[in-house]
Amino acid sequence: MTIRPLVEGDVDACAALMQRIPLWAQYRITPEAARRVFTGALGGLSHVQVAEEDGSVIGFVEYLLRGTFGHSGYVWALGVAPEAQGRGVGTLLMDAAEDEIFRAGPNVFLLVTATNTRAQRFYERRGYRRIGEIADYIQPGITEVLYRKTLGPIQPGRP
C-alpha cells in the first residue's frame, strides 16, 4: 500500500469511493459534489492524500493546514473503502495528514458524527480529545462532535 498526494487521475476514484461509504449518504453528497471536493483540492483549496493498493484507490484524507480559526489544521474527510477497513489504511492516511499539519502548526481539529462511535474511538486512540458537540451544523438533525489533537498552544505572532 502506498500513501501519496492526490493526482488528477484519482479524482473519479476518490469521488466514487466517497459515494460508496454509507456515512456520506446522510450528508447527501451527490456524485458531482464529491467530484468537486477532489477537483477543488487539485486547485489548491485543500490537501488530499490517497491510499493506493494494487493500482486502486482504497482511501483518502482531505485536510486544510489552517482551516480552523485561521491558525490550526482541520481534517475535513477521511474515507476508507469498506473492504479495506480494519487494515490500518485510516491510520496511515491520518499519519500523513497529521505530519503535514503539525509542520504548519501545533493543533488539528476535526468533526465526527455523534452516532459514529467507531470513528470516535479511532480518533481518541490517536490522541484526539472531545471538545464539545455542535447540533444541526452540517445537516439538520445530525450532531457533530468536535475533536482536537494538540502539541501545544499556537504561538503569539504566528500567522
pLDDT of residue 156: 64
DSSP state of 84: G
Q: DSSP 3-state assignment of 1? A: coil
Neighbour tally for 59: CB within 10 Å: 25
Which pTM was predicted?
0.92
Q: Residue written as cell 505572532?
A: 157
pLDDT of residue 63: 98
pLDDT of residue 86: 92
CATH class of 2-150: alpha beta
Q: Which helix (H) or strand (E) holds 89?
A: helix 89-104
Distance of alpha carbon 69 from alpha carbon 21, whole angstroms: 29
Distance of alpha carbon 68 from alpha carbon 63, whole angstroms: 11
pLDDT of residue 44: 93
Domain ranges of the chain: 2-150
Low-confidence ranges of the chain (pLDDT < 70): 156-159
pLDDT of residue 154: 83
Contact in structure between 76 and 64 (CB atoms under 8 Å) = yes
Instruction: Please state whether beta strands 72-80 and 107-113 pair in parallel, antiparallel, or not at all (unpaired).
Output: parallel
